[in-house]
Amino acid sequence: MQNVLLNNDVEMPILGFGVYQIPPEQTEQAVSDALAAGYRSLDTAAAYGNEEAVGRAIKASGIPREDLFVTTKLWISSAGEENARRAFHTSLRRLGLDHLDLYLIHQPFGDVYGSWRAMEALHREGVVRAIGVSNFYPDRLVDLIDHNEITPAVNQIETHPFNRRTVDQEVMRERGVQIESWGPFAEGRNNLFSDPVLSGIGAAHGKSVAQVVLRWLIQRRVVVIPKSVRADRMAENLDFDFELTDDQMASIDAMDTGESLFFDHRDPEVVSRFGKLQPNI
């Protein structure tokens, strides 16, 4: 597996496995299948309700801890210096681990600055190898960087052919923050899996649409964490060992709408709605 080097010299696999929307009772099997297929990076969150199941699969795999890269995320209701520290240790316990590889602020809402101070302290204590954020637009990201000690190692944001985030990626590159895509397939929205441009490029390489999309992201040095509950697709999504031409990259770039297919974190209604969500954590 190729790695990217984060801004604190920690190596992170460029491709991992995401477990959002996998029900807790299905997650242990899905993660076990993913680990058997060769995934070594796992992405979960307190809000997904499946950290314990991820932990059981890790334990059952017998894979040495140092060979794994485990990410989880802090939800809004646990924001703030004391709450974030408590939430971190709860996640660690649920995962059955003694340290995390990456801990992210899940949403740019609530007492983000208190949370960040707690995360900086946890990093200094050595219980998390890298800290970062998710769903931060460039303005919020730069503000967090400029008014704190540690620059986030990663910003995990919606990134796929219909929303390619090149401006965001450029700001992150300038600031030393690794971009990580969530929803690399846009969860299949806009008929991504039957898109004629992506299908045509796939046919030229003997690859599937999913493989073309992941390759396009990886060729842009975007970290990806595709989700699937199917072992055949898990294996398919691991195979990105081919190269897209400049023209093929450009035709995928041209699919960009410049807009989210899900929600805009700068929309006051979305900010308010997220703040009221009460996941069972």
The site for ligand NAP (CB under 6 A) is made up of: 18-21, 43, 106, 134-135, 156, 182-188, 193, 208, 210, 225-230, 233, 236-237
Q: Active-site residue 48, yes or no?
A: yes
Among 20, 39, 48, 103, the active-site one is 48
Among residues 124 and 196, whose Cβ is nearest to ligand NAP?
196
Q: Do 256 and 226 touch, CB atoms closer than 8 A?
A: no
Q: How far is the CB of 248 from ligand NAP (least distance, A)?
A: 19
Q: How far is the CB of 254 from ligand NAP (least distance, A)?
A: 20
Beta bridge partners of 73: 104
Among residues 82 and 188, whose Cβ is nearest to ligand NAP?
188
Q: How far is the CB of 53 from ligand NAP (least distance, A)?
A: 14
Q: Closest residue (Cβ) to ligand NAP?
A: 18
Q: How far is the CB of 39 from ligand NAP (least distance, A)?
A: 12
Among residues 126 and 244, whose Cβ is nearest to ligand NAP?
244
Q: Which of 249, 254, 241 is nearest to 14 (CA)?
A: 241
Q: Is 5 exposed, middle or buried (0-12, 13-18, 19+ CB in 10 A)?
A: exposed
Place of tokens 């992506």: 198
> Rounded to whole angstroms, how far apart are CA atoms 145 and 141?
6
> Rounded to whole angstroms, how far apart are CA atoms 273 and 127?
32
> Rounded to whole angstroms, how far apart are CA atoms 41 and 100?
11
Catalytic residue list = 48
